[in-house]
Amino acid sequence: MARRQGTGEVTISDVARRAGVSKAQAARAMGGYGSVSSEVKQLVMQAAQELRYRPNALARSINTGKSQSIGVVVGDVENPYFGQVIRGISDVARHHDYDVVLANTGESLQDEEKAVKVLLDKRVDGLLICPTSRSAHSHILDAERAGRPVVLFDRDISVPALDVVQMSIAEVTSQVIDSLIDAGHRRIAYISTLKLSTRKFVPGQELDLSTVTQRVDGICLALKRSGIEIDPGLFRFGATDREAMQQLVEELMHLSSPPTALVASDSLVALDLLSVLRRRDLRVPTDISVVMLDDQPWAELVEPPITSVFQPAYDLGEQAAGALFERIEGTTGGRRIWLTPNLVHRSSVAPPPGWRELDR
């Protein structure tokens, strides 16, 4: 039996010979393109199963123009939130008999641009992208212009032609701040990994991640509603690792009026924050209250359990993948799909030290 030279792999010629049809007929039957009778297709499929034939994906994509794969570009696969999103995407892709090709950018715009190019070279049929920048997105639009549908997930770049699936995080962040205000807090700090493009933060400035912009907007809205002055010094950015977190907490605690509550932008930020607070012997919530804007299973297992925002990340992955397959099938883009997170009250919030009901 003829095999691919030096590999021992079964070829399409082997399948054609076993089925008693031409190589061209076997290729059309296996590739799902061109005209082939149901009888020939059945013979070819039976022969392929008997020989344990594995189709050449590259050859199939050249013949059909489709690779039966989608590309997923994500900023940080170590973040459990994105792990849940990817699981939702993968389950939907499996249902459509598609493979998922994953690229991790480490939140680097340059690596994101490279990843998109590599995935296009691999002839993926569509792209799901969590963009690292609102402003630098020409490579994403180039992919659309090249005929590869793009759906954004979690983050937006404000391009009307693209579908975006994201969380209504501004509204629930406002609820978080409202709950802290109700508990007596007036000095509430927000901590994010985002690196500012400016030296100092100014309320109202456009940030390079839509998700962080929404969180900050939610905080400012709640403070304004309660008549509390917005202090730019309580918004801290660049908490990319534990050492950076240590520095940010030191700066916050040495303010003339330090915060009594800390809001971590996500679960990884919260882990570093809790570690630093423990090193400083600051007790949660006796000395300082903590909330994180991304719920994870460990949040209810630590002591005290952490008040968090549950985001339906798996559902977001499902919705994003579903939107992409609709685009692949020919629908036009431009939809905005919003999912609703929920505030989960636990035990990490208490009135600030020395606070009395009369202080309201």
Q: Are residues 31 and 179 in the same domain?
A: no
Report pLDDT for 291.
Answer: 98
- 39 confidence band (pLDDT: 50, 70, 90): confident
Average pLDDT over every residue of 185-208: 92
Residue 3 lies in a domain: no
Last residue of a domain, one of 64, 84, 105: 64
For residue 146, give the amino acid letter.
A
Q: Is the pLDDT of residue 6 over 50?
A: no
Same domain? For 191 and 265 the reply is yes
Please report whether residue 226 resides in a domain.
yes
Of 112, 221, 129, 206, residue with least CA distance to 168: 221
Find the DSSP H helices in 190-333.
210-225, 242-253, 267-279, 313-328
Average pLDDT, integer, range 315-320: 98
Residue-level pLDDT at 206: 84
Give a yes or no: residue 145 inside a domain: yes
Residues 124 and 204 in one domain: no
The yes-or-no verdict on residue 9 having pLDDT over 80 is no
- CA distances to 7, 197, 210, 212, 228 from 133, in Å: 44, 11, 8, 11, 31
218 and 298 fall within a common domain: yes
Residue 188 lies in a domain: yes
**Do residues 98 and 19 share a domain?**
no
Tell whether 295 is covered by a domain.
Answer: yes
pLDDT at 23 over 60: yes
Q: Are 185 and 291 members of one domain?
A: yes
CB atoms within 10 A of CB 72: 29
| Structural domain containing residue 149 | 69-167+313-341
Say whether both 202 and 95 belong to one domain.
no
Q: Quote the CA–CA distance of 334 and 214 in Å, as a whole number.
A: 20
Same structural domain for residues 272 and 320?
A: no
pLDDT value of residue 7: 47
Question: Per-residue pLDDT for 1 more than 50?
Answer: no
- Report yes or no on 1 lying in a domain: no
C-alpha atoms less than 13 angstroms from C-alpha of 274 in its C-beta half-sphere:
21
Phi, psi at 34, each rounded to 5°: 70, -170
**CATH label of the domain that carries residue 223:** 3.40.50.2300
Within this chain, do residues 141 and 259 fall inside the same structural domain, yes or no?
Answer: no
218 and 134 within one domain: no
Any domain includes 2: no
Query: Which whole number is the average pLDDT over 75-102?
Result: 95
Residues 203 and 329 in one domain: no
In this predicted structure, the answer to whether residue 273 has a pLDDT above a threshold of 70 is yes
pLDDT at 204: 86
Q: How confident is the model at residue 40 (pLDDT cuts 50, 70, 90)?
A: confident
What are the pLDDT digits (tens) for 101-143? 999 999 999 999 999 999 999 999 999 999 999 888 899 999 9
- Which CATH number belongs to the domain containing residue 19 in this structure? 1.10.260.40
Rounded to two decimals, the pTM is 0.82
Q: With 80 as the cut, is the pLDDT of residue 60 above it?
A: no
Do 73 and 118 belong together in one domain? yes
Domains of the chain: total: 3
